[in-house]
Amino acid sequence: MDTSNTTHMHTHRFRIFILLAIISGLTLHAQDKVLVETISKEINSKMDHYQSLYQHLHQHPELSFQESATSDRMAEELGKLNFQITRNFGGTGIVGVFENGDGPVIMVRTDMDALPIEEKTGLPYASKVTMKNEDGEEVPVMHACGHDVHMTVWVGTANTLVALKDHWKGTLIMIAQQAEEKSGGANAMIEEGLFRKFPVPDYALAFHVNPGLPSTMVGYCPEAAFAGVSSVDIAVFGEGGHGAYPHETIDPVVLASRTVVDLQTIVSREISPLKPAVVTVGSIHGGTQHNIIPDRVDLQLTIRFYTDDVYRQIIEAIHRITRGVAISSGLPENKFPEITIADSYTPPVQNNPALTHHATSSFSRILGEKNVVRVEPTMAGEDFGKYGQTDEQIPIFMFWVGAVNPEVYAESIEKDISMPPLHSPHFAPDYINSIRTGIKAMSFATINLFLK
């Protein structure tokens, strides 16, 4: 059998296949290039507005569950783009829906709340706002966690996607969420019926500014990104009396001190070293005077974890340790510690690996591979994770956008200078670059998901 013609035909077909693949790749690259250029032009045309919006939001921060004016401004921005808007959803939340033909449903989320911190940046647009907190106390308020950047990028993404609506098909859902800092906003929107009253997203995206990355870069974790968070209150009881006669008392200050030390063994001696966990006693209060031994001391704890089994292990250990301390002191059972665990906790943010890969590929194509870096998970909490833990099992992805001017970042590395962290009164992001980077990354990734 003569195989020379067959071999020639196979070789010819293979060459055609390679040529078509090259042409297809070039076409895709050309389409990417056009889309990237179009996105950049659209962002540049509105940067003055975004800069003004950011400064307005920074100068007018509002505390968790009180974001009324901020919510109105977010609704106003979406209203200019002909979104179907639902106000005051689950509190001060905003849901905007933009239908653009048949295709995937994609949700993009921002948070709106600020912190009870007195700003010390010295910037001309620094916050001078004070508000009454939930206890009725007048406190200073500052966007010290970058939510003003988040909202501006959210608005910029909505503007960009609407301007480029001929490039994609599907339904875009933009949500502005209250109370991320207190970890109640996401749950409130879900319980209000976010996924019953509106289209269920195929994907959900969000980001957070990062004070450890240059403002031209984004960072990502392919799976676990933010830790789960829970709060625990412990009332330690004793038998009070005169400070001169401690032998006639059971001192709850001493019991509380022992408890604080013993709680540290949960992570160091009970949780596997391969499983991240944190148990921090952030507050201890008891007594009124130098020479009085009180009958009660209160502890407030924060717990951080990545898996439910670690969370359960920590809670069990807290009960066992506090009870053991009380027994060893000779307290009767009716004076054993009272432990109150938060009704709900913030789950970890577990990024969907496939969605992460798809989004980071888009980031590399619009920002350049060198500006897309894998980062370590953080023990900070973020209630965005709740959107991925409902019955709908929505794939979620949350990434970081750098907040430090690249030159300042380089100098900080060279001279080993610490940068102000999130929640610092000195936190001042390189907001123009961060906003530009955030809109580029979020818009391009979202469009490519619509085209998936």
Confidence of residue 401 (pLDDT cuts 50, 70, 90): very high
Q: Among the residues of 46-146, which ranges form H helices?
A: 47-59, 68-79
pLDDT above 80 (res 6): no
Confidence of residue 166 (pLDDT cuts 50, 70, 90): very high
Please give the single-letter amino acid code of residue 274: L
- For residue 345, what pLDDT is reported? 83
Average the pLDDT over 309-322 and give the result.
97
Q: Is 113 a catalytic residue?
A: yes
Domain identity same for 210 and 83: yes
Confidence of residue 176 (pLDDT cuts 50, 70, 90): very high
Phi/psi for 290 (5° steps) reads: -55, -45
Confidence of residue 100 (pLDDT cuts 50, 70, 90): very high
The DSSP call for residue 132 is E
How far apart are the C-alpha atoms of 203 and 173, rounded to whole Å? 10
Average the pLDDT over 357-384 and give the result.
96
- For residue 126, what pLDDT is reported? 98
In a domain, 194, yes or no: yes
In a domain, 17, yes or no: no
111, 113, 181, 202: the catalytic one is: 113
In a domain, 168, yes or no: yes
Q: Which of 7-16, 136-145, 255-264, 361-370 has the lowest mean pLDDT?
A: 7-16
Domain identity same for 149 and 231: no
pLDDT above 80 (res 16): no
Confidence of residue 5 (pLDDT cuts 50, 70, 90): very low
pLDDT above 80 (res 201): yes
In a domain, 406, yes or no: yes
CA torsion angle for 345, 182, 380, 256 (degrees, to 10)? -70
- For residue 15, what pLDDT is reported? 55
Q: Is 442 exposed, middle or buried (0-12, 13-18, 19+ CB in 10 A)?
A: buried
Model pLDDT for residues 245-280, shown as the tens digit of each residue: 999 999 999 999 999 999 999 999 999 999 999 999
Buried b / exposed e along 193-212 (16+ C-beta atoms within 10 A): ebbeebbebbbbbbbbbbbb
Model pLDDT for residues 21-59, shown as the tens digit of each residue: 444 444 546 778 899 999 999 999 999 999 999 999 999
- For residue 150, what pLDDT is reported? 98
pLDDT above 50 (res 3): no
CA torsion angle for 432, 159, 352, 203 (degrees, to 10)? 170
How far apart are the C-alpha atoms of 330 and 74, rounded to whole Å? 58
- For residue 343, what pLDDT is reported? 78
pLDDT above 70 (res 71): yes
Q: Token pair for residue 227? A: 């830790």
pLDDT above 50 (res 215): yes
- For residue 11, what pLDDT is reported? 52
How many Cα atoms occupy the beta-carbon half-sphere of 271 within 13 Å? 29
**Domain tally for the chain?**
2
In a domain, 32, yes or no: no
Model pLDDT for residues 78-90, shown as the tens digit of each residue: 999 999 999 999 9
- Which percentage of the chain shows pLDDT scores above 90? 91
- For residue 22, what pLDDT is reported? 46
In a domain, 153, yes or no: yes
pLDDT, averaged across the chain? 93
Domain identity same for 389 and 257: no
Domain extent, residue 154, equals: 40-223+351-450
Average the pLDDT over 171-182 and give the result.
96
Q: Where does a domain end: 341, 361, 386?
A: 341
How far apart are the C-alpha atoms of 348 and 263, rounded to whole Å? 22
77, 111, 180, 181: the catalytic one is: 180
Domain identity same for 267 and 290: yes
Residues making up the chain, counted from first to last: 452
pLDDT above 50 (res 297): yes
Average the pLDDT over 7-23 and give the result.
49
Q: What is the CATH number of the domain that holds 362?
A: 3.40.630.10
Domain identity same for 198 and 267: no
Beta-carbon neighbour count of residue 181 at 10 Å? Answer: 22
How far apart are the C-alpha atoms of 44 and 222, rounded to whole Å? 31
Q: What is the CATH number of the domain that holds 304?
A: 3.30.70.360
- Which percentage of the chain shows pLDDT scores above 70? 94
